[in-house]
Structure 1
């Protein structure tokens, strides 16, 4: 980090001095290079820290210095959280803000730039668990039908592409970023198997089975696509030949919601929820579903599928040899 610090420019901050601004720049570089956080998460953390520093400058009636920041008190942090709540910021956003501030505090401590104990002393706000809303099986299947798009004023190969992407989201439980991150070489050719190697969150790789009818939809799209699809290039491309962006699939889903009479909760990610929930309802093993989804924790899968305690006990009783 020492060489990197020499080339980094301090973040422009009106509310804090250069010492804080430089540490913030180093921290953001650390998040990108070492922690490999997504650009959106890094941007959100940077925004939260800016807001906190601005609040402190007004709260203390002075520019924030590194020395003063290291002497933060719990009352300062609570005052900031109270103000954000007064601004009607949701509990989940408050929790993310506190996580970002704690990350900055840990970075300063690791670099020998101070110890901000007050950030660790604050309890994270409670966030209510919102259960996912899976789609009915019939609706989920229709979303992967290219004929549903036949009335749209778009090229047939684009209908085929969108149908293939939707089929992947529902048929293999992929995140939209995972589906659009596939390269042509990642999709097995006829006779080469029925498994995808997917790069998920945190650059973790997992193997996911893919149905033959889903592979057939992908091949139909590839045969119709007017652009070359090299082995190292993206499997799914946009209307102008570049990588397909998630927003295009989100807009496609929005159009189909109206055509199929589905609620606003019917998003591309809802297809992943539906994959997990429908597997479970048909007798799928919870641990296997956890592996397919790429969840680090079984509790995440439990929430994800809307499974209740009684269903967990049922799985336990049917699977345990002493039950």
Structure 2
């Protein structure tokens, strides 16, 4: 990578962090895509013309549409930054492809699968002296399904984040946006039981060594529970439980805007993906509740 590319990429990332409040994972993804593009263009990314970017797009052809869309979006934003800051006179990003990645429908656990997961946890807790790992598991599962927390949000909760007398927490999610997340009575009880076993000077609710539980370890824990409960592990994960939280709330009559706030989605369009699972209920709702339903034309 040329010195100019490295310097400009670094300034771009600093801008994203300072002005856009980009998360560490987002910055890492941008850095990876930009560094790789610079290497493919032999250090000429920041000065690339339409021909050079066309060759870059050709190199992306074997990749999945979603991957190309991500890479292209990262580079387009980089070129906008270069133009706005006066490092280029033009916006070279217009030459990059704009494939639609498509939005896959979320895989949603059905009620029977969830019942199996919770039944397995209850079976373990019914022992006279359940292992600490199972008490922790109960708190993790209740928060994943009962509050729709993202995996990163869950594992990084401070020890004092959830109070037994407060049915909600305030989280700072993607982009530094704060949101209020309701915590069910079941989840608060499970967390209280687990917290009693933690040292009083512990900083994290779910500690692991000197830090908190990792997302990878949380993924492994959920998969192991699924296997023990007789649910195919490939159908279960932390994000799948978040999807189930959203879907089942919507099925129960939750307002889409309220669901958006609880999930921390910046755009209502992201939340609307969950309506696919409940189209039948929405049709029934219109037929039963619309004010014109009872205004049928009189028969002659």
Q: TM-score, normalised by structure 1?
A: 0.79
> Which residue in the other structure is 1:248 paired with?
217
1:92 aligns with 2:66: yes
CA–CA separation in structure 2 for the residues paired with 1:213 and 1:247: 25
1:38 aligns with 2:23: yes
CA–CA separation in structure 2 for the residues paired with 1:81 and 1:39: 27
Whether the aligned pair in 2 keeps the contact of 1:229 and 1:235 (CA below 8 Å) is no
Change (3 A) 1:163 1:135: same
CA–CA separation in structure 2 for the residues paired with 1:147 and 1:214: 14
What is the aligned length? 289
> Which of residues 226, 229, 248 is equivalent to 1:260?
229
> Which of residues 94, 116, 122 is equivalent to 1:120?
94
> Which residue in the other structure is 2:184 paired with?
211
Structure 1 stretch displaced more, 300-309 or 164-173 = 300-309
> Which residue in the other structure is 1:174 paired with?
149
- Give the secondary structure class of the aligned counterpart of 2:169: strand
CA–CA separation in structure 1 for the residues paired with 2:52 and 2:289: 51
What stretches of structure 1 of length at least 5 have no aligned partner? 1-12, 58-62
CA–CA separation in structure 2 for the residues paired with 1:320 and 1:101: 48
> Which of residues 21, 35, 40 is equivalent to 2:6?
21
CA–CA separation in structure 1 for the residues paired with 2:249 and 2:65: 31
Whether the aligned pair in 2 keeps the contact of 1:197 and 1:205 (CA below 8 Å) is yes
> Which residue in the other structure is 2:296 paired with?
none
> Which residue in the other structure is 1:186 paired with?
161
CA–CA separation in structure 1 for the residues paired with 2:223 and 2:160: 30
> Which residue in the other structure is 1:10 paired with?
none
Whether the aligned pair in 2 keeps the contact of 1:143 and 1:256 (CA below 8 Å) is yes
Pairwise CA RMSD: 2.8
CA–CA separation in structure 2 for the residues paired with 1:212 and 1:122: 50
Q: TM-score, normalised by structure 2?
A: 0.84
> Which of residues 32, 52, 55 is equivalent to 1:76?
52
Pairwise CA distance, 1:311:
5.5
Change (3 A) 1:202 1:314: farther
CA–CA separation in structure 2 for the residues paired with 1:118 and 1:321: 53
- Give the secondary structure class of the aligned counterpart of 1:119: helix
> Which residue in the other structure is 2:205 paired with?
235
Whether the aligned pair in 2 keeps the contact of 1:277 and 1:306 (CA below 8 Å) is no
CA–CA separation in structure 1 for the residues paired with 2:218 and 2:289: 39
